[in-house]
Structure 1
Amino acid sequence: MAKSAFSSMKLAFLAAAAMLPAAALAGCTCEADEEDRDKTLALKYKMAALASILAAGAAGVCLPVAAKRIPALSPERSLFFVVKAFAAGVILSTGFIHVLPDAFESLTSPCIPEHPWGDFPFTGFVAMVAAIGTLMVDTYATSYYGRRSRVKAADGGHDDEERAVPVHTHAVHGHSHGAVSLEAVSGDTELLRHRVISQVLELGIIVHSVIIGIALGASESPKTIKPLIAALTFHQFFEGIGLGGCITQAKFNARAVAIMAVFFSLTTPIGIAIGIGITNIYSETSPTALIVEGVFNSASAGILIYMALVDLLSADFMSPKLQNNGKLQLGANVSLLIGAGCMSLLAKWA
């Protein structure tokens, strides 16, 4: 049920994002900036961007999944926490430094109507609502499947004595069964939470990935595209590692892992392909296009910031494994700062 619901949400976001080019056909109130335009050279850069971003995204999301076979990179090892902290820093910086400022720029542009867009800080409001909505989805989905897990455990064939809270008597057999049952319920709840986290995180990622892909694909300026190739390649790789780590912890079956990995890997390239297809009719200064971009980027920023802080960083940094290991705690903090710093530095060029 949850999987189909999240799939429907993904498709809805992709459909809305795909409608963005058509929305851009609305009447413009501003002239597009005159840039150094070279369609032939720009197309070569776009092809390079498409291949580079596709390869980086696929490598990033598959690396944690494949690393299950490498003991040093398994989710239970310390190195996994350090790498995941770096990836979370990249995602956090993406929300704060890349996506949110773009949303502010779009929704405060002089090209869109002053009323109502100039009367209220819609960018922050939409980001806040998206973060609250993510919290609600996270909470209710985890709560719902936690209850289902407990009911299933209660009906799993053990009698009442085996499911009861264990007491210290000579009935050692009943005591051990009860403890195993409670551990199983706790483990199932944690596993379900990881599954909710991975699906919501992917939802937030694909929203801005499609939008930035369309913007890159529609651009005819090599000077604009060139720095974006490096920035988006780096971004997709480490964002993929963050998502792949969540997918690994969720322990999906092979088919679900493949679907989520392919879906993540293809979103930005699909956006680029759409942008290439509508290069001649897309206007980045169209009021409707700016509003759609601004609203979707605001929502994406809220989702990414919430997921990075709450579900990726807080969950790991407050875990007993990190709290009881000073060296690991230091390594995770340094890794987080490096990831956020590197992604923030890319804002200088893209």
Structure 2
Amino acid sequence: MLAESATRVLLSLAGRQDAGADPAAGGADPSAGGDATAPDAPTVTITCDTGNDYDGRLGLRISAIFVILVGSLLGAMLPVVLARHSKLRVGPAFFVAKYFGSGVIIATAFMHLLTPAFEALSNPCLPDGPITAYDWATGICLMTVMVMFTVELLVSRLDFFGRGHSHAGEHDPTADTFATSGKGEKPATPVSGDGSNNNGDIEAASRPNAFQATTDVSYPPGGEDHLGHAREHKDDMSHTELAAQMTAIFILEFGVLFHSIFIGLTLAVSGDEFIVLYIVLVFHQTFEGLGLGSRLATTPWPQSKAYLPYLLAGLYAISTPVAIAAGLGVRETLQPGSPQTLIINGIFDAISAGILIYTGLVELMAHEFMFNEKMRKAGLKQQLLALACMFLGAGLMALLAKWA
């Protein structure tokens, strides 16, 4: 784990000595009939190294800046580009990327954030005090989940945000690919002039990418969706609607951004394990970028904000490379094992874990599978494929946790 490479805790067990074992030392001689003294209990000495393990190889570390940049950029940008170029017929590829990325985000929350947060905030090198008197890693994670739920609840209920929180209007670039995959499905009913149809479902209008939102009884009133606000004229989206969808996407961005910064600093000053971390983090950042990019891609940004998904993907892509460069710049003074660094790292990892756990379980699993009208009506083959992609993403990311 990265927390282990950031903190060196050396445990040495003192050997047991029998006070009467050495007569020359003044102890009693058992052979002479004297009583042997009881052996001392083992003692544990904890030596905390607050420095870092930097061991040179500067050129290789500099190369990590550019290699990880390319991998992160590819992972985060690819879903966004594919979703906005429907003429490329990339529906199946985007489908795989979307659900694979969902699994990556869920595994990242548990394996790459919550576990390191627990290790950092329960480290024996931390001084006694409030930080060691409670299991703050899971506590902070729990508080973050509750805050996330409260924010989402307020967003969906308060009149300030109007009716701008609806999953029903979300346009899924994969929908056209599988629209005719199921047998016996009813054909789409054209939308009437007043924006309604006989079925009450979301149906295609005269243009393939135009959707008309209606009420879906499968959702709680006013809380149908957290990201979907697609309309035929996206520039007509109100500021409150835009604020509602950006709240969710910016929180997710925050969760992965700080995690990327900390692992970049760790890689910059790692020691013997540098090569392994280098290789693993290339895949780690690429897969995590894929998860973030798939969320950015499924958000129907208005034309006036069409640059935002590219901007957010770019910020993610440069976060780890910039952190590596900063870590190399202060490699002589950076102390990843100091109590202050451990506490900061642990707190932010716990917060990020809570964000990604909530996003993964609510946004990506519950809403994508159980509350998604199209997925519920999809054929068994499509549903199993989506599950397989999600399991694959989660499994690969969990496997990477063995080294990073």
* Amino acid corresponding to residue 287 of structure 1 in structure 2: P
Q: TM-score, normalised by structure 1?
A: 0.75
CA distance in 1 between counterparts of 2:342 and 2:53 reads: 22
CA distance in 2 between counterparts of 1:194 and 1:73 reads: 27
Aligned to 2:247: 196
Taking structure 1 as reference, are residues 176 and 335 closer, same or farther at Cα in structure 2, changes over 3 Å only?
same
Alpha carbons 2:100, 2:393 under 8 Å: kept: yes
Q: Does the alignment pair 1:234 with 2:283?
A: yes
Task: Map Cα deviations across residues 277-315 of structure 1 (whole Å, 9 max, x no partner).
Answer: 111111122111111111111111111111111112221
Identity of matched residues, %: 33
Q: Write out aligned runs for 1:16-31 (5 A).
A: 30-31=47-48
Aligned to 1:101: 115
1:110 to 111, 114, 124: 124
Alpha carbons 1:30, 1:285 under 8 Å: kept: no
* Amino acid corresponding to residue 302 of structure 1 in structure 2: G
Alpha carbons 2:140, 2:347 under 8 Å: kept: yes
Aligned to 2:75: 60
Q: CA deviation at 1:149?
A: 4.5
2:105 to 91, 99, 115: 91
Aligned to 1:162: none
Aligned to 1:344: 398
Aligned to 1:324: 377
Taking structure 1 as reference, are residues 315 and 78 closer, same or farther at Cα in structure 2, changes over 3 Å only?
farther
Q: CA deviation at 1:35?
A: 8.6
2:267 to 201, 207, 216: 216
CA distance in 1 between counterparts of 2:307 and 2:122 reads: 43
CA distance in 1 between counterparts of 2:365 and 2:87 reads: 23
Which structure 1 residue ranges, 5 or more long, are not aligned? 1-28, 151-174
CA distance in 1 between counterparts of 2:193 and 2:307 reads: 35
Query: What SS class does the counterpart of residue 123 from structure 2 fall into?
Result: coil
Task: Map Cα deviations across residues 79-98 of structure 1 (whole Å, 9 max, x no partner).
Answer: 53432221111111111112
Aligned to 1:156: none
Q: CA deviation at 1:251?
A: 2.3
Which one has the largest radius of gyration? 2
Query: What SS class does the counterpart of residue 230 from structure 1 fall into?
Result: helix
Aligned to 1:32: 49
* Amino acid corresponding to residue 142 of structure 2 in structure 1: M
CA distance in 1 between counterparts of 2:225 and 2:342 reads: 43
Aligned to 1:80: 94
Query: What SS class does the counterpart of residue 129 from structure 2 fall into?
Result: coil
Q: CA deviation at 1:73?
A: 6.3
Aligned to 2:350: 298
Alpha carbons 1:90, 1:340 under 8 Å: kept: yes
Alpha carbons 1:64, 1:73 under 8 Å: kept: no
* Amino acid corresponding to residue 62 of structure 1 in structure 2: M
Aligned to 1:179: 196
Alpha carbons 1:86, 1:337 under 8 Å: kept: yes
Q: Does the alignment pair 1:122 with 2:141?
A: no
* Amino acid corresponding to residue 38 of structure 1 in structure 2: D
Greater Cα shift, 202-211 or 231-240: 231-240
Alpha carbons 2:105, 2:360 under 8 Å: kept: yes
- Would you say how many aligned residue pairs link Structure 1 and Structure 2? 292
* Amino acid corresponding to residue 258 of structure 1 in structure 2: Y
Q: CA deviation at 1:146?
A: 4.5
Task: Map Cα deviations across residues 99-128 of structure 1 (whole Å, 9 max, x no partner).
Answer: 111111111111112222232111100011
Taking structure 1 as reference, are residues 55 and 300 closer, same or farther at Cα in structure 2, changes over 3 Å only?
same
Task: Map Cα deviations across residues 233-263 of structure 1 (whole Å, 9 max, x no partner).
Answer: 2122222222222212222233222321221
CA distance in 2 between counterparts of 1:33 and 1:292 reads: 14
Query: What SS class does the counterpart of residue 337 from structure 2 fall into?
Result: coil
1:284 to 336, 351, 362: 336
* Amino acid corresponding to residue 332 of structure 2 in structure 1: N
CA distance in 2 between counterparts of 1:257 and 1:94 reads: 21
Aligned to 2:311: 259
Query: What SS class does the counterpart of residue 78 from structure 2 fall into?
Result: helix
Alpha carbons 1:89, 1:337 under 8 Å: kept: yes
1:49 to 40, 44, 64: 64
CA distance in 2 between counterparts of 1:79 and 1:44 reads: 36
Query: What SS class does the counterpart of residue 232 from structure 1 fall into?
Result: helix
Taking structure 1 as reference, are residues 284 and 299 closer, same or farther at Cα in structure 2, changes over 3 Å only?
same
Taking structure 1 as reference, are residues 340 and 287 closer, same or farther at Cα in structure 2, changes over 3 Å only?
same
* Greater helix fraction, Structure 1 or Structure 2: 1
Which structure 2 residue ranges, 5 or more long, are not aligned? 1-45, 166-191, 203-211, 216-223, 230-240
